[in-house]
Amino acid sequence: MSRNDRFLGKKVLVTGSGTGIGREIALEFAREGADVVLHYAHSERGAKTAAEEIKAMGRRTAALKANFENVDEVIQLAGQAIDFLGGIHCLVNNAGITFNKPFLKVVREQFDAMFSVNIRAQFFLTQKVVEHMLEHGGGAICNLTSIHGLQGAPEHAVYAGTKGAIIAYTRTLGIELAHKGIRINAIAPGWVMVENHAKIFPGYTEEGAREAAKSTVPLGRPGIPLDIARLALFLCSDDAEYIVGQTIVADGGTTALMSLISDFRHESTARCGLGYLVGV
């Protein structure tokens, strides 16, 4: 079997796959042989154009809509995907929303929506898919979280709380289900360029983002959706069969960089060890 056929015959559901990272994950699974159901809540055009690309590859695919603030729709999505594909071997929980606001200004409706979409929906969708996997030989699940679940950023208390919850339940569920043939891991992306950034940041351009990343990301560039897609496929593949309950950080070195270091691109003028180490 060639590398491009790693997932030949596999059935995959990718949530939040109308734009950005989720869309690229769905396309990458199809490139490697899988039949794919795409889920969207608002980005219908993106999901359906991706489905057309997947059909052109000769794979079976469908784009299904579900509101992730409604658990009944989430459970229905799982059932529809299983029925259409004839099963699910891999689930990628990518759907999520982002939000920033000073802590004292957050209202209950915002808090509830964030936790409903980012963790409650993911939890109960996974529960439904796991029921199916347990009856049909197991499978693999990849949850998308964020480096916000690992490091702090002002005005992101609610968002970071949801992403930290994903990390925690991935770890616990991973050890609960591994011996039953279901592997669960997560990815914590750093700065990845997606089309929604143009809506969030005034004056945003890809060229500007690349330039800014030269001095803020140790690798010297922002991520692209394909960086995360390739990792998601690896974690769902047999190549990762000994990896369980882990959150893999993909951020170009962002979280590895000590925040007190002002400019990692140049040799430091500070001399630690001066006076007591030879050659300093």
Per domain, the residue ranges of the chain are 3-250
Q: Band of the pLDDT at 127, cuts 50, 70, 90?
A: very high
Render 159-203 in DSSP notation, one character per residue.
Answer: HHHHHHHHHHHHHHHHHHHGGGTEEEEEEEE-SB--TTHHHHSTT
Q: Which amino acid is at 109?
A: E
Residues 199/229, Cβ–Cβ less than 8 Å: no
Identify the pLDDT of residue 198: 67
Which stretch of DSSP H or E encloses residue 12?
A: strand 11-14
Q: What is the DSSP letter of 102?
A: -
**Where does residue 34 fall: left (phi above 0), alpha (psi -120 to 50 degrees), or beta otherwise?**
beta
What's the length of the chain?
280
Q: Band of the pLDDT at 277, cuts 50, 70, 90?
A: confident
Residue 145 to residues 137, 273, 278, Cα–Cα distance (Å): 26, 40, 45
Q: What is the pLDDT of residues 64-93, one digit of tens each?
A: 999 999 999 999 999 999 999 999 999 999
| Range of weakest confidence among 57-61, 100-104, 246-250, 274-278 | 274-278
Identify the pLDDT of residue 197: 66
* Whether the predicted pLDDT of 213 surpasses 70: yes
Would you name the residues annotated as active-site residues?
A: 146, 159, 163
Distance CA 180, CA 182 (A): 6
Q: Which amino acid is at 101?
A: K
The average pLDDT across 274-280 equals 74
| Range of weakest confidence among 121-135, 158-172, 178-192, 265-279 | 265-279
3-250 homologous superfamily: NAD(P)-binding Rossmann-like Domain (3.40.50.720)
Residue among 168, 175, 172, 162 at smallest CA distance from 119 = 162
Distance CA 1, CA 57 (A): 17
The average pLDDT across 168-193 equals 97
Residue among 187, 219, 190, 191 at smallest CA distance from 206 = 191
| Range of weakest confidence among 20-34, 53-67, 139-153, 251-265 | 251-265
Average pLDDT, rounded, for the chain? 93
Identify the pLDDT of residue 50: 98
Q: Band of the pLDDT at 2, cuts 50, 70, 90?
A: very low
